[in-house]
Structure 1
Amino acid sequence: MGHVRSNDEGWRVMGRRTAWWRTRAQGGRAPVAGVVRRVGVLVAVLCATAALTGQSATAAGAPSSYGYGKGDQVVDGATSTADAKGLNPGGTYRSSLAKGARLYYGLEVDGTSNAYVSVTAVPPAGTTVAATDGIRVSMQNATGTACTHQSATFGADRSPHPVAAWAAWESGKALCKGGGKYYVLVERVDASGSSSDTWGLELTAVSEPPLTQAGVTDAPQDWNSESPEAVTGEARHRAGGSGFAGAVAVGPGAWRDDVEPGRTLFYKVPVDWGQQLSVTAELGGSNGGSGYVTRALDLALYNPVRGSVDEAGLGYRGTQNSAALEALPPVEYRNRYSVVEHENGMRFAGSYYLVVHLAEQLADSFGQGPFPVTLRVRVGGAAHAGPGYAAQSEPRNIFEVTSQDREAAVTGSAGGGGTAMKVLAVAGIGAGSVLLLTLGVWTVAARRRASTAAL
């Protein structure tokens, strides 16, 4: 999604949120009629609460919003390594990045487990960005040597949206050998004329344990690199999520959402060891307008640690167009030894993220939409056992495809587009339970008081 810069390792990154009341006793008694009136009030309050809850959940999916993880910890970046706050493997964090800032975060490395840190920058709605604006993320040792570094920019569409870059400490690499304290440096890259707004940040830290026994250390030589035919058939509607944490699960098939310019959608696809993923994105025709948008739609693929794998984009004249990712190899541990970018990233089993962005510039030529976007997803090949890790990853099960993952891909996960319905369901169940319990208690109390009064 935008311009991409790669480091010497051949990696690639994407350029581119109760009412209360009380019973008033009348002479120590609560008449049944009064109870009924108060129940009516409670019903109204609960209904209003559920409605407001639904509105909040819907608002969270507004075009300008990014869905941070609910469990994100707030951490401030430091201007020097001496004050750098530590990131723990398996943790997700929320921070911020001012214009021109260079911020450090700490990371303890055990010397055997690979460590990955991904940083997503979130510019506010309405900000002005240049094609070269973005972030640079690097992993450094105590002497300032950079182990790895990647950059992500917004690219030619100049449409503000989440952009992500990652850095890593990898066992066996020539640079940054040995465990100990390392530092993640996040730098903001700004062009003249760009807005001075502060950007939000979401950081994730992942630990990948070593293998029980050493495996091959060269990339696969033989795999089917021909692009398969796109999945056909009518697309089923599945609203996308608003961030990595709320990415909505999809499986093989065709999936559609109607998207306004400036929106970014997040999906995830479970891909097991040995399976091969292919994806095509389609942007439907416009009902009016004219002109040409150079980079109207961006499709980016991220692996389970939010590391970039590949991306594609398409121009738009108002008629239907499509773009496909490069042919990707089957998921294998040894892919990490490839110097080809879209092969190198297919190194883990787990949930792969599809991130779709519609450029704001679409609205200038073709109106506010929404525009139909369809993802055609194919997962081929037989799954096989993994390479055999010697310990648990952090977070747990990130490099696995579970039965829950497969079920979510069929039904749709709780993240993103399903959040509002989940919240409403919980609110409804909770409200109903409270109402039934309250009715029962009050009815029994009213009857007892009425019997006492009769005596």
Structure 2
Amino acid sequence: MARRAAAAALLVTAALLPGGTAVAAGTPGGYGFAPGARPVEGAAGAPDARPLEAGGTYRSSLPRHDTVYYRVGLDAGSTAYVSVTAVPGAGDEVTAADGLRVALRDADGGSCSLNTVIFGAARSARPLTAQVVREVRDRGKRCQAAGTYYLTVERTRPQDSPQGAWALELTVATEPGPARAGPTGAPEDWDSATPAPPTGAPGRLRGADGFAGATLVGPGVWRDTVRPGQTLYYKVPVDWGRRPYASVDLEGATGGSGYTDGALRLALYTPVRGEVHGAARGYSGRRTTVGLAALPPAAHANRHSADSRVSGMRFAGDYYLVVHLSAKVADGFGDGPFGLTLRVRVDGTVRPGPGYDGTARPEGVFDVSTWNPAVAAATGGGGDGGGAARGDSATRAALAVGGIGTGTALLLGLGVWTAVARRGAGAAAQPRNRAQKPTA
């Protein structure tokens, strides 16, 4: 019976993961594009721009010196989130100031949103994700009307950038307005102290190589491996009223010498791929840890804050943890792999959401995947999760896996299950202090 269950788990995993790959996390510098992403060619100007539809995922490319245009049709009642992930070629040499710039403009050329991300001090070619937002506001004056909007994508330093075209993954998501009026100011009372990382025996998992196939992970301690130049993707279910925290430990090298600035990077992204917070640390061959800053509980009113760490926590859903190890680590310490320990907490009490007056696109993007602590424990660890919510076993039947020591196949199978899982009871809320005011 155990053998049949284990075989079924492996078959489900292999069939549903992008590309049919059950365990491969991708090669250094690689990226796992969404299966079924529609190809679209960027235009040289607005008149020829091809359309991107709400809820859609697309593949395109970005030449070195060009600015490419896309067209997005928006209504007057939904906030829109357009995200672009640029993937340099494997082995590309990049500068610290090189990167990706995206902008959203209305039909008259007025600027709605602009965002720039760069490779930074690590100078490591990695997938870069930038998001622009068309925010619907009660007293908004610009970019509020229904109609045609234009997305532009370009490199920040084309003169210093690698010659080859970068592959692009583009997504368009829309969020309906709330069904009932809520606060018009960001919450100020929340615990701004950095949470303690969870402890305990680690479970094992394998990070994915892109947003679309991100590995589902719950609260606890998890072991993985990473190679220089590799980027790993995980997703953490976060319900209304709850907040995530994560840190990453990179093991020390067994030999070699040197120092790589900004070598280990950890970032948190929203369910629609907007960066909430990112942090990086250098690596000298010794054990290195990088952690996220404290974040507020997910609440619709957070969007009114000027602090991106607060405004990013504006909805429930599966948030993404993205880990990157600089390719330059290999120069001093070899190609690895290096051991990685991911520590995840999710604190707070589940609260009612705002109730949306309409349907999000893609549908279900602000729903929360089921995470079952009992299933996690069966995979060989997880530690003290810091208040893991109880999964509803009635909503999703757990695969009974026997004889798989690491539990990798089961965790990957869970990673493709997305469902609404409103928990009936959450952990007790942490003591709250007055948060520091964001600085200008």
TM range, smaller chain: 0.7 to 0.9
Deviations 1:223-280 (A, max 9, x none): 0111111111222111100000010010100112111100000000000000011111
- Match of 1:152, SS state, is strand
Q: Select the structure that is richer in helix.
A: 1
List per-residue Cα deviations over 1:23-57 (Å, max 9, x = no partner).
Answer: xxxxxxxxxxxxxxxxxxxxxxxxxxx9xx99977
Give 1:156 deviation, angstroms.
Answer: 0.9
Asked if residue 94 in structure 1 is aligned to residue 92 in structure 2, the reply is no
1:270–1:406 CA contact under 8 A, matched in 2: no
Amino acid at match of 2:174: S
Which aligned pairs between 1:375-454 and structure 2 lie closer than 5 A?
375-403=342-370
Preserved contact between residue 130 and residue 191 of structure 1 (Cα < 8 Å): no
Identity of matched residues, %: 47
1:152 aligns with 2:95: no
Compared with structure 1, are the counterparts of its residues 84 and 411 closer, same or farther at alpha carbon in structure 2 (3 Å cutoff)?
farther
Q: What stretches of structure 2 of length at least 5 have no aligned partner?
A: 1-14, 380-397, 400-407, 414-440
| C-alpha displacement of 1:405 | 8.7
Contact 1:134 1:163 survives alignment (8 Å): yes
Partner of residue 76, structure 1: 41
Distance in 1 of aligned mates of 2:19 and 2:112:
46
Superposed CA deviations along residues 363-393 of structure 1, whole A, max 9, x for unmatched, are: 1111111111111100011111211101110
- Deviation per residue, 1:138-164 (Å, 9 max, x gap): 110011111011001111111001001
Give yes or no for contact 1:270–1:409 (8 Å, CA) kept in 2: no
CA deviation map 1:157-185 (0-9, x unaligned): 11001001011111123321211111111
Conserved 8 A contact 1:273-1:332: yes
> TM (normalized to structure 1)?
0.77
Matches within 5 A, 1:331-342: 331-342=298-309
SS of the residue 1:403 aligns to? coil
Q: What TM-score comes out, normalization by structure 2 length?
A: 0.79
Partners of 1:411 and 1:185 in 2: CA distance:
47
Rg bigger for which structure? 1
Structure-1 residue corresponding to 2:209: 242
Alignment check: 8 A CA contact 1:57 1:420 kept: no
> Letter of the aligned partner of 1:146 in structure 2?
S
The one-letter amino acid of 1:312's match is A
- 1:117 offset after TM fit, Å? 0.3
Q: 1:178 to 1:56 in 2, by over 3 A?
A: closer
Residues 55 and 83 of structure 1: CA distance in aligned 2, closer, same or farther (over 3 Å)? closer
Q: Distance in 1 between matches of 2:86 and 2:19?
A: 28
Give the root-mean-square deviation of aligned CA atoms.
Answer: 2.6
AA of the residue aligned to 1:248? T
The CA distance in 2 between the partners of 1:357 and 1:368, in whole Å, is 14
Matched residue of 1:207: which SS? strand
Separation in 1, partners of 2:374, 2:33: 24
1:126 maps onto 2:83 in alignment: no
Which residue number corresponds to residue 275 of structure 1?
Answer: 242
Residue of structure 2 equivalent to 1:211: 178
Say if 1:186 and 1:55 are closer, same or farther in 2 by CA, change over 3 A. closer
Q: Summarize the alignment of residues 353-372 of structure 1 with structure 2, pairs less than 5 Å apart.
A: 353-372=320-339
Q: Tell me, in whole angstroms, the C-alpha distance in 2 between the residues paired with 1:57 and 1:125.
A: 22
- Contact persistence 1:54–1:420 (CA under 8 A): no
User: Within the alignment, does 1:228 sit opposite 2:195 as a pair?
Assistant: yes
Q: Mean Cα displacement is larger for which, 232-241 or 351-360?
A: 232-241
User: Number of paired residues?
Assistant: 369
Structure 2 counterpart SS, 1:364: helix
Distance 1:165 1:408 in 2: 34
Q: Is residue 284 of structure 1 aligned with residue 284 of structure 2?
A: no
